[in-house]
Amino acid sequence: MSASLASIFNPGGLLSGALPSYESRPQQLEMAQAVADCIRTSSHLLVEAGTGTGKSLAYLVPFILWAVENEKKVLVATYTKTLQQQLVEKDIPLLRRALAVDFRHALCLGTQNYLCPRRLRQTKEVGLFTTRKEVEQFQALGKWAKETHAGLVRELDFEPSPGLWGQVSRETDLCLAKECQLYDESFYWKARRQQQKAHILVANHHLFFANLTAAGNVLPRYDAVVFDEAHNLEAVASAYLGLEVSNHSVHYLLDRIWGRRSGGLLKSLGGIPVEVKAEVESLVSECRDAVEDLFENAWQRVGNRFSATRVRERGFVANVMEQPLRRLVQELRRSVKWVAGPAEGNERLEPTTSPSLEDSGEFQVEERKAELEAFVGRIEQLQSNLTSFLSQEVERSVYWVEASAGARQTRITFRSAPFDLSELLQANLFDVMAPIVLTSATLTHGNSFGFMQQRLGLEKATTVSVGSPFNFQEQVLLYVANDLPEPGPGRSDAEQAAIQRAADLVRASGGRAFVLCTSHRMVQQCADQFEEQLPQYRLLRQGDMPRDRLLELFHEDVGSVLVGTSTFWQGVDVPGEALECVVIVKLPFAVPDDPLVQARMEFLQSQGLDPFSDYQVPQAVLQLRQGFGRLIRHRSDFGMVALLDPRVVTKRYGRAFLNSLPACQSTNSLEEVTTFFARHRAERGNGNAPGE
Q: Are residues 481 and 368 in the same domain?
A: no
Q: Could you read off the pLDDT of 464-521 as tens digits, one per residue? A: 999 999 999 999 999 999 999 999 877 788 999 999 999 999 999 999 999 999 999 9
Residues 434, 403: one domain? no
Domain check: are 367 and 477 in the same one? no
Q: Are residues 455 and 367 in the same domain?
A: no
Tell me which DSSP letter residue 401 carries: E
Strand partners, 346: 343
* pLDDT tens-digit map of 104-118: 999 999 999 999 999
Map 291-342 to HEC letters: HHHHHHHHHHHCCCCCCEEECCCCCCCCCCCHHHHHHHHHHHHHHHHHHHCC
pLDDT bracket for residue 690 (50, 70, 90): very low
Cβ atoms of residues 258 and 264 within 8 Å:
yes
Q: How far apart are CA 272 and CA 349, in angstroms?
A: 7
What's the CATH code of the domain at 641?
A: 3.40.50.300
Residue 360: band (very low, low, confident or very high) from pLDDT cuts 50, 70, 90: very low
Q: Are residues 279 and 414 in the same domain?
A: yes
Alpha carbon distances (Å) from 229 to 211, 352, 558, 564 = 19, 52, 28, 20
* pLDDT at residue 567 is higher than 80: yes
Residue 144 lies in a domain: no
Domain boundary among 399, 418, 437: 418
Render pLDDT for 569-580 as a digit per residue (tens, 0 to 9). 988 888 889 999
pTM (predicted TM-score)? 0.91
- Count CA atoms closer than 13 A to 426's CA, side-chain side: 13
The last residue of a domain, from among 466, 498, 526: 466
Q: Both 485 and 346 in a single domain? A: no
Domain that residue 575 falls in:
472-685
CA proximity to 210, closest of 121, 77, 118: 77
Verify that 404 and 437 share a domain, yes or no.
no
Provide the number of structural domains found in the chain: 3
Q: How confident is the model at residue 408 (pLDDT cuts 50, 70, 90)?
A: confident
Q: Is residue 157 part of a domain?
A: no
Q: How much is the pLDDT for 418?
A: 96
pLDDT of 246 strictly over 60: yes
Residue 505 included in any domain: yes
CA nearest to 83, candidates 196, 216, 232: 232
Tell me the per-residue pLDDT of 416-473, one tens digit each, with 9 for 90 and over: 999 999 999 999 999 999 999 999 999 999 999 999 999 999 988 999 999 999 999 9
Same domain, yes or no: 346 and 385: yes
Same domain, 390 and 511: no
pLDDT value at 340 more than 70: no
- Give a yes or no: residue 145 inside a domain: no
Confidence band (pLDDT; 50, 70, 90) for 276? Answer: confident
Q: Convert the pLDDT of each residue in 49-61 to its tens digit.
A: 999 999 999 999 9
Q: Indicate if 502 and 359 belong to the same structural domain.
A: no
**pLDDT for the residue 584:** 97
Which of 418, 435, 452 terminates a domain? The answer is 418
Q: Are 534 and 666 in the same domain?
A: yes
Confidence tier at 310 by pLDDT (50, 70, 90): very high
User: Is 76 a domain residue?
Assistant: yes
Q: Which helix (H) or strand (E) holds 670?
A: helix 670-685
Tell whether 67 and 215 lie within a shared domain. yes
Q: What is the pLDDT of residue 344?
A: 46
The pLDDT of residue 257 is 87
Let me know: does 422 contact 241? Beta carbons within 8 Å.
Answer: no
Q: What is the pLDDT of residue 691?
A: 37
Banded pLDDT at 275 (limits 50, 70, 90): confident
